Structure 1
C-alpha cells in the first residue's frame, strides 16, 4: 500500500463561522453539499453517494471551529490519516475561510483536490455565497 500525501486547501467563503459550522459538522448540513445523504450514530458518520456507502469516525469536534474525521477503511492501514474541515477567520479583515486537510495517494492527488473544489463550490452555492 503506497503512502498517502497530506495536503491542505483554503476556500474563502463569505458567511458567518456559526452558519458555516452547521454545514460542516451536522449530518443534515453535510448532506446538503458533501454527500447525497449523511447519518450519524454516536461517533460514526455514514456518508451515502449514489448507492455507495462509506463510514467515518468522528475524532474531534469543536464548536464554530472544526470537525475531524477518519474513514473507517483507513483505520486498518494507518491511524494517522484523517480529513479535517476547519473554519479560519482573519483577525483583521474578519474574512472567513474553510480550511481542508486531507490525504491522498500521489496519483490521486489532483483528482482529490478537484473533488474538494467541486464540493466546496456546491457548498458556496447552497450558502448563497457563490
Structure 2
C-alpha cells in the first residue's frame, strides 16, 4: 500500500485536575446532553445508539465502545456510513480519584490523525475550561 494511502495515527494523553466528584462529572462525559455543553456543537444519539458528534456543522459518528459508570467512557469513531474501520480513531475519558488527596483527575486519550501536540494541548485546554465552567470545578 502506498505511504500516502496510510494515515499515521497518534495517541495524545493529557490529564486535568477537576474540582468535582466523578458522580457529577460522568454525565458530562457519557451523555449527549452533557457532551454538547462543552465538547462540541451538538451530540445526538440515533435509534441504533450511535452517537453523532457535530463539529463545524459536520457529523462524526461514534459508538460508546465501553463505559464504567462514574469511572470511564470510550468512544470509537465510525465512518460516514456508521461502520467500523480498521485502526479507528477513539477517545477515552477516565476519571481517577486520589485516595490520599481526594482530588479528581480527568485523563483524556485522543487517538487520531492529529499529530500536533501543541495544537491538541491548546484544544483540550480550551475544552476542559468549558467543562470546568459547566461543573463549577
TM value normalised by structure 2: 0.84
Residues 1:47 and 2:50 are matched in the alignment:
no
TM value normalised by structure 1: 0.88
The alpha carbon displacement at 1:4 in A equals 1.2
Distance change >3 Å, CA 60–CA 36, structure 1 → 2: same
- Counterparts of 2:90 and 2:24 in 1: how far apart (Å)? 23
Match of 2:118 among 91, 110, 125: 110
The corresponding residue for 2:13 is 8
Aligned partners of 1:11 and 1:97 also within 8 Å: yes
The alpha carbon displacement at 1:106 in A equals 6.1
- Counterparts of 1:43 and 1:116 in 2: how far apart (Å)? 26
Alignment RMSD (CA, Å) = 1.9
Describe how 1:1-130 pairs up with structure 2 within 5 A: 1-41=6-46, 42-73=48-79, 75-79=84-88, 81-105=89-113, 107-129=115-137
Q: Name whichever of 56-65 and 40-49 sits farther off.
A: 40-49
- Counterparts of 1:39 and 1:31 in 2: how far apart (Å)? 9
Q: Report the secondary structure of 1:122's partner residue.
A: helix
Spell out, residue by residue over 1:2-44, the C-alpha distance to the aligned partner (whole angstroms, 9 max, x if none): 3212121001000011000011110010010001111113441
Q: Report the secondary structure of 2:132's partner residue.
A: helix
- Counterparts of 1:10 and 1:76 in 2: how far apart (Å)? 27
